[in-house]
């Protein structure tokens, strides 16, 4: 299996997801040192967390279009160089403003990565394995979440908090070199791909997008998907930003021990990502029902997320073990929605998968702007570290309702003539 070109491309994408998440969440662990050294409040630290998300939000749709238009090979290589430089700049920051600038540049570099990677998967993965591919790559990102706290602590001890950012930035540069050397936009241009692998791919795979994007219909179809993903993203970014600090301050733990508890929560997300992608594909193969495989699964997983977090609201003076179990359960079920959610843009608009997934991911990017800052503000105002997680339960309830408004069973299919004339696109049921 590992000799297949398709498998190796998937592994390269997994490496990218892993590295990008280490580079975007390393601040949550390093904040214990740079916050004290630079005299930052929790609210200011929340702004440092969320600064990444402003350009990240803007470049979701733009970056998705760029990936469709110019191909994942060049787009992801350029992105990697930018985010690697931003990570190194974070280690060189001298204050609040320079930290914000470095994080803004990081968001600029990473903004196009996931939509463009979705375009690469649309090119390289058979339709019946797209949920698995999305679940596997996002599981790699959660491994990055889980590894980041102890890894950054170790690098901080070995060098400093500045050295930790510089070392992780160098690895991003190395990934860019490997990617540009090995990957090809059209799988059929790859010298190691077999005829058997090519036979399983859709006919349009590898073709750079020449058809004008039907922006009106596409935005309309993706609006409910984006709203659901905002609810998911609120919980995600709350966890990524504040979980290491939660164990450190709420339970007055040492930095190294709090990093291990944070890792246990994030490892639950690894399992959720992988399982969610596998389950949605299995449901689809057996039922041939996209709404069951996508909508129902997302709604059920969001309900289980809400129920997992409920004890935080109901139990006072919760033990650290119970808190870790509840947070791990909430993160596990929240991440189980990843496989079906990231398959939906490919279901709705397979020929515009990068643009469609960028529209969807803008929901999570918007949540990344708001959620960490609201979390830090609530902690500063109330001193209650549980309150931000209680607020996230409300977002989960909204997500459950909204999940049933998505229509992955209706594929948007537009011919060049229709798109150019601005007419209503032909829609087909699958």
Q: Please give the pLDDT value at position 308.
A: 92
Crossing angle of helices 113-124 and 338-348, in 10° steps, is 70
Q: Please give the pLDDT value at position 377.
A: 85
Q: Maximum CA pair distance of the chain?
A: 64
Q: Please give the pLDDT value at position 427.
A: 38
Q: Please give the pLDDT value at position 123.
A: 83
Measured over the CA atoms of residue 267, residue 273, residue 278 and residue 280, the dihedral's sign is positive
Report domain extents, the chain: 5-183+214-410
Which parts of the chain have pLDDT scores under 70? 1-2, 202-211, 255, 315-316, 413-430
First to last CA, the chain: 30
Q: Please give the pLDDT value at position 1.
A: 59
Return the exposure string of 62-96: e unless at least 16 CB atoms fall within 10 Å of the residue's CB, then b: ebbbbbbeebbbebbbbbbbbbbbbbbbbbebeeb
For the domain spanning 5-183+214-410, the CATH number is: 1.20.1250.20
Q: Please give the pLDDT value at position 102.
A: 92
Q: Please give the pLDDT value at position 73.
A: 92
- Cβ-in-10-Å burial (0-12, 13-18, 19+) of 314 comes to exposed
């Amino acid at each position: 299996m590992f000799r297949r070109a398709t498998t190796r491309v998937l592994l390269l994408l997994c490496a990218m997801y892993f590295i990008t998440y280490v580079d975007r969440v390393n601040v949550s662990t390093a904040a214990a040192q740079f916050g004290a050294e630079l005299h930052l409040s929790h609210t200011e630290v929340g702004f440092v967390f969320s600064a990444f998300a402003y350009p990240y939000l803007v470049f979701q749709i733009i970056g998705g279009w760029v990936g469709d238009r110019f191909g994942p090979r060049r787009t992801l290589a350029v992105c990697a160089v930018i985010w690697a430089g931003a990570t190194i700049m974070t280690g060189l920051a001298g204050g609040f403003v320079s930290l914000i600038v470095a994080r803004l540049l990081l968001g600029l570099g990473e903004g196009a990565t996931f939509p463009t990677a979705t375009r690469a998967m649309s090119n390289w993965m058979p339709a019946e394995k797209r949920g698995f591919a999305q679940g596997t790559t996002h599981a790699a990102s959660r491994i990055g979440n889980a590894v980041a706290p102890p890894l950054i602590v170790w690098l901080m001890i070995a060098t400093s908090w500045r050295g930790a950012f510089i070392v992780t930035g160098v690895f991003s540069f190395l990934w860019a070199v490997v990617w540009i050397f090995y990957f090809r936009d059209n799988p059929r241009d790859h010298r190691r791909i077999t005829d058997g692998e090519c036979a399983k791919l859709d006919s349009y795979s590898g073709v750079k997008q020449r058809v004008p994007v039907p922006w009106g219909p596409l935005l309309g179809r993706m609006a409910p998907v984006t709203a659901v993903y905002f609810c998911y993203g609120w919980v995600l970014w709350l966890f990524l930003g504040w979980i290491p600090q939660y164990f450190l301050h709420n339970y007055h733990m040492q930095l190294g021990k709090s990093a291990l508890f944070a890792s246990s929560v994030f490892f639950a997300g690894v399992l959720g990502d992988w399982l969610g992608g596998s389950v949605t594909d299995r449901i689809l193969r057996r039922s041939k029902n996209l709404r069951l495989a996508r909508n129902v699964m997302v709604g059920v997983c969001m309900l289980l997320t809400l129920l997992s977090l409920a004890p935080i609201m109901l139990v006072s003076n919760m033990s650290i073990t119970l808190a870790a179990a509840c947070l791990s359960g909430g993160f596990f079920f929240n991440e189980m929605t990843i496989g079906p959610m990231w398959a939906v843009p490919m279901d709705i608009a397979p020929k515009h998968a990068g643009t469609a997934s960028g529209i969807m991911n803008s929901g999570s990017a918007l949540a990344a702007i708001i959620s960490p800052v609201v979390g830090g503000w609530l902690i500063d105002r109330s001193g209650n570290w549980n309150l931000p997680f209680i607020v996230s339960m409300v977002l989960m309830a909204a997500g459950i309702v909204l999940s049933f408004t998505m229509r992955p069973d209706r594929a948007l299919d537009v011919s060049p003539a229709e798109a150019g004339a601005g007419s209503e696109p032909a829609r087909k049921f699958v």
